[in-house]
């Protein structure tokens, strides 16, 4: 099936803080835990702060590519599920572990007077979440999302200390969602796959008031994913296909960074990120014709989300150990946008502590390479959403999170 509606696969994967939202899109970005807005120095400047392209060597082309392996450990749930029977039923289980490769690419062209252009190709979010246990299989037998963003950008050097920049975000995403209630005697099933292309923009400012202090501000716009396609819904083993549509926002994000460098060797950067998740208020599907009445509650009634805007605080440290070796490390604290009432198996999210480290080695005058690792530690979260309009979970989520490993190389020519 092609262009079948994405449903919660986009909801759970693309609209997520923490492990499924991936701001680390380069070797430096991974090693610093995305505390990389004010002091950007390589081809990945095109993505993290395109205004800073004006302050790179104007006669040099910058190129970087690499791959990240994202390892998603099992989420553990201990508790019960209300709302499926007269009394809550046991639902303790573990999700499947996942390993997802994520490639990236960045390029910055030589300056053309006060102008400069660049382009990035990244995968800013993604998820594969699978449960084989009976209760969870009804809600999230499999949720998978793959997406690619192409982000061409321009910068303009206003003065020796100030530059502005921006670009267009073109996002292609495809995904699938399966759910089956047969193992717990609920005779409903869904099989959905689809894709979409949507557009947004990003803006940036870079200010270098002194040689050792830099300030950066970036803004990424909200993108509404207006999905249209087909949905196959099953009741008692009999399936019907429907025209279907839904609109889901990718929220806007604001980043403000400030860095300080000492003796051209040690750089400390602090980044504050505000993500406007409150744009995600409801999940409401529309169908071209009435669906089976017994499925209206599961697949047609609007679902309140009422997510909350979040803060992320990032700190990154870069140390020029020698002419050839650069060491990096980072720490971030990331808030979850998901209220307790609306937490679900597709998105067992919680606040996170994020630790990262990496290195870059200058092999030749033009070629460098390196590696980085990031550990996203999710805090355990007790939930009691067995209330009106809630998801019915009463218990605790633990484990989960992510481990990301990046290897990449850069070339200047």
Looking at mean pLDDT, say which of 178-192, 265-279, 282-296 comes out highest.
Answer: 265-279
Higher pLDDT: 237 or 19? It is 237
- Model pLDDT, residue 387: 86
H-helix or E-strand spanning residue 55: none
State the pLDDT at residue 174.
Answer: 77
User: Ranked by mean pLDDT, which of 113-117, 295-299, 400-404 comes out on top?
Assistant: 113-117
C-beta of residue 377 within 8 angstroms of C-beta of residue 352: yes
Mean pLDDT of 13-33: 71
Q: Which is higher by pLDDT, 399 or 370?
A: 370
**CA distance linking residue 19 with residue 238, whole number of Å:** 37
pLDDT of residue 15: 35
Please provide the size of the chain in residues. 413
Q: Which DSSP symbol is given to 391?
A: -
Of the candidates 151, 166, 84, 98, the one whose C-alpha atom is nearest the C-alpha of residue 126 is 98
What domains can be seen in the chain, in order of their start residue?
Answer: 8-412 (2.40.160.60)
In angstroms, rounded to a whole number, what is the distance separating the alpha carbons of residues 333 and 327?
A: 21
pLDDT interval class at 127 (50, 70, 90): low
Residue 76: exposure state from Cβ atoms within 10 A (0-12, 13-18, ≥19): middle
Write out pLDDT tens, residues 141-189: 887 777 789 999 999 999 999 999 999 999 987 777 788 888 888 888 8
Q: What is the pLDDT of residues 66-81, one digit of tens each?
A: 999 989 899 999 999 9
Higher pLDDT, 361 or 244: 361
Q: For the segment 302-359, what is each residue's pLDDT rounded down to a tens digit?
A: 878 888 999 999 999 999 999 999 999 999 999 999 899 888 888 788 999 999 999 9
| CB count in 10 Å sphere of residue 376 | 24
pTM (whole model) above 0.85: yes
| pLDDT at res. 18 | 42
Q: What is the pLDDT of residue 79?
A: 94
**Secondary structure E strands in 60-114:** 62-72, 75-81, 89-90, 93-94, 98-108
Percent of the chain at pLDDT > 90 equals 60
* Separation between Cα atoms, residue 79 and residue 390, nearest integer Å: 15
Q: So what's the pLDDT on residue 160? A: 96
């Amino acid at each position: 099936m092609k262009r079948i509606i994405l449903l919660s696969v986009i909801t759970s994967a693309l609209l997520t803080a923490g492990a499924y939202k991936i701001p680390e899109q380069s070797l430096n970005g991974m090693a610093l835990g995305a505390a990389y807005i004010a002091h950007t120095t390589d081809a990945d400047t095109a993505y993290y702060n395109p205004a800073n392209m004006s302050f790179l060597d104007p006669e040099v082309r910058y190129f970087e590519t690499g791959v990240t392996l994202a390892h998603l450990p099992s989420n553990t749930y201990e508790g019960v599920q209300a709302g499926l029977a007269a009394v809550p039923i046991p639902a303790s289980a573990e999700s499947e572990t996942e390993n997802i490769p994520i490639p990236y690419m960045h390029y910055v062209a030589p300056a053309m007077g006060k102008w400069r252009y660049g382009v990035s190709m990244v995968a800013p979010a993604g998820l594969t979440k699978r449960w084989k246990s009976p209760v969870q299989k009804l809600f999230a037998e499999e949720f998978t999302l793959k997406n690619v963003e192409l982000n061409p950008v321009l910068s303009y050097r206003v003065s020796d200390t100030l530059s502005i920049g921006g670009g267009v975000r073109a996002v292609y995403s495809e995904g699938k969602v399966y759910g089956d209630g047969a193992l717990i005697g609920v005779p409903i099933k869904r099989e959905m796959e689809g894709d979409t292309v949507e557009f947004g923009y990003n803006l940036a400012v870079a200010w270098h008031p002194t040689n050792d202090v830099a300030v950066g501000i970036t803004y990424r716009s909200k993108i509404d994913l207006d999905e249209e396609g087909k949905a196959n819904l099953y009741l008692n083993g009999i399936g019907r296909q429907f025209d279907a549509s839904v609109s889901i926002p990718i929220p806007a994000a604001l980043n403000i960074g400030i860095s300080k460098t000492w003796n051209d060797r040690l750089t400390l950067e602090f980044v504050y990120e505000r993500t406007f998740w409150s744009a995600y208020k409801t999940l409401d599907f529309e169908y071209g014709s009435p669906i089976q009445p017994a499925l209206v509650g599961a697949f047609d009634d609007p679902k309140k989300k009422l997510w909350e805007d979040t803060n992320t605080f990032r700190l990154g440290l870069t140390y020029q150990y020698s002419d050839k070796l650069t060491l990096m490390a980072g720490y971030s604290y990331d808030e979850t946008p998901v209220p307790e009432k609306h937490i679900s198996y597709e998105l067992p999210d919680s606040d996170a502590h994020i630790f990262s480290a990496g290195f870059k080695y200058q092999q030749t005058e033009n070629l460098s390479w390196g590696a980085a690792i990031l550990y996203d530690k999710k805090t355990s979260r007790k939930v009691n959403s067995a209330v009106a309009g809630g998801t019915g979970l009463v218990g605790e989520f633990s484990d989960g999170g992510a481990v990301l490993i990046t290897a990449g190389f850069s070339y200047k020519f």
